[in-house]
Amino acid sequence: MTHIVIIGAGECGARAAFALREKGFDGEVTLIGAEPHLPYERPPLSKDGLAEASLPKFVADAARYEEARITVLIGATARSVGRAQKTVTLSDERSLDYDRLLLATGARPRALPGVPENAERIRMLRTHADALAIRAALTPGARLAVIGGGFIGLELAATARRLGAEVVLVEGLPRVLSRGVPEEIAAFVAERHRREGVEIICGAQIAAIEEAGDVARLLLADDVGIEADLIVVGIGAVPNTELAEAAGLAIENGIAVDERLCTSDPDIYAAGDCCSFPLPHYGGRRVRLEAWRNAQDQGVLAAANLIGAGETMASVPWFWSDQYEYTLQIAGLADGAQATVRRDMGEGAFILFHLDSQGRLMAASGIGPGNAVARDIRLAEMLIAAGAKPEPLALASPETRLKKLLAA
């Protein structure tokens, strides 16, 4: 094997490139990215990176790529994959031969129907350029409307309040954080936002959205009108599967891969936000995760398997979000849980442990100031991976150390 090509220069693709070298691969490594920047981390874009309008938080500087002999093609778009010839054709007609290929094409923001093309005051947040455009509008006293009450929308609302902007957040479902976050924690987060002055409207249906001169307008189905200096749409993400589809690879809520991240072509792998995969700790249930650590973990796993390691996924899903002084962390998937046990940890921190019908720990969801829940969520993650069935009373008691339960 002499050449591995990685399409997608985000967190996942960059981690995979470096992991190839760390695991001893000595052939050519080429990393292809459409943006004009070296790979950078996206989570700061809705947090400190947005507030400070700083440069992206790069995964590595140019010297490290050069030292690792990784060729990075920035501002380059992969147009097609020729599986029979094992080639990648770029939009400028350059062609690259590959022995193995990794698709780390990520995801893009889900578009809201009815948004005018090239609207300056109606935006989505995905790239560093998006963050700079949004930051320019978040001046003290400016009015921001956020459509979508998920992690991104709420983080953006918190950052906007920190910068002195007024915020109204519109969510179509009955509550914020409907996807994967327990109602009790979602209510806690919503109340914290309201205390900060964020107006939250749930169960809202959008009738019209428009840009008119120096304002953007939302009209809700109940005839409520909202005017703002800027509207940011954050209603989820769509996996970038177009290259894979055109190449004839299997698609199932993303590029379908097996437990080794291999696609339906044995020489092509996929990892990160763009792929769906079976979770061993949840009976092989197929999921697609849009999460920073998943991108890292899968980048490293894909690198190992591109060079023949044959390793399978063993990690437990993990998510996090900063909401003002609080950090929310979730390990595992709570869907289908039959029982929930609460552990109060003082200073407003608590963890919810989610158990299945057999008493097996499926997930743990926690929130607290700073890193108050971080250690116990990490231990809960290890309990989930071990298939543990801890006693509910032990989980509920803050005096019982989870490390002791793990040892048992």
Q: What is the 3-state secondary structure (H, E, C) of 15-82?
A: HHHHHHHHCCCCCEEEEEECCCCCCECCHHHHCHHHHHCCCCCECCCHHHHHHCCEEEEECCCEEEEE
Say what the pLDDT of residue 138 is: 94
Task: Assess contact for 210 and 113: CB atoms under 8 A.
Answer: no
Please give the CATH number for the structural domain made up of 111-233. Answer: 3.50.50.60
140-196 confidence digits (pLDDT tens):
999 999 999 999 999 999 999 999 999 999 999 999 999 889 999 999 999 999 999
**Range 243-256 burial, b when 16+ CB lie within 10 A, else e:** bbeebebebeebbb
45 confidence band (pLDDT: 50, 70, 90)? confident
- Average the pLDDT over 349-370 and give the result: 97
Q: Give dist(CA 27, CA 318) in Å, integer.
A: 33
- CB neighbourhood size of 312 (10 A): 13
Q: What angle do CA 153, 156, 161 make, to 5 degrees?
A: 125
Q: Which CATH architecture has domain 3-108+238-306?
A: 3-Layer(bba) Sandwich (3.50)
Q: Do domains 3-108+238-306 and 325-407 have the same CATH topology?
A: no
Residue 162 makes CB contacts below 8 A (sequence gap 6+) with 51
- Average the pLDDT over 343-359 and give the result: 95
Please give the CATH number for the structural domain made up of 325-407. Answer: 3.30.390.30
Say what the pLDDT of residue 54 is: 74
Indicate the SS3 state at residue 168.
strand
Check pLDDT > 90 for residue 47.
no
Say what the pLDDT of residue 116 is: 82
Q: In what order do the strands lie in the sheet with 285-287?
A: 255-256, 275-279, 285-287
What's the mean per-residue pLDDT of the chain? 95
Say what the pLDDT of residue 223 is: 85
Check pLDDT > 80 for residue 51.
no
Say what the pLDDT of residue 408 is: 79
220-248 confidence digits (pLDDT tens):
998 889 999 999 999 999 999 999 999 99
Distances (CA, A) of 371 to 10, 198, 273, 328, 364: 26, 24, 26, 9, 15
Q: Give dist(CA 102, CA 216) in Å, integer.
A: 41
Helices 11-22 and 292-306: crossing angle in degrees, nearest 10, is 40
Q: Hey, which bits of 184-304 come out as E strands?
A: 199-202, 206-212, 215-220, 225-228, 230-233, 237-239, 255-256, 268-270, 275-279, 285-287
**Length of the chain in terms of residues written:** 408
Say what the pLDDT of residue 286 is: 95
- Average the pLDDT over 5-20 and give the result: 98
Say what the pLDDT of residue 118 is: 84
- Average the pLDDT over 105-125 and give the result: 91
- The domains of the chain are located at 3-108+238-306, 111-233, 325-407
Say what the pLDDT of residue 52 is: 78
Q: What angle do CA 134, 103, 105 make, to 5 degrees?
A: 10
Q: Give dist(CA 178, CA 183) in Å, integer.
A: 8
Q: Using CB atoms within 10 A of its CB, is residue 298 exposed (0-12), middle (13-18) or buried (19+)?
A: buried
User: pTM score, two decimals?
Assistant: 0.95
Among the listed ranges 124-133, 248-257, 294-303, which one has the minimum average pLDDT value?
A: 124-133
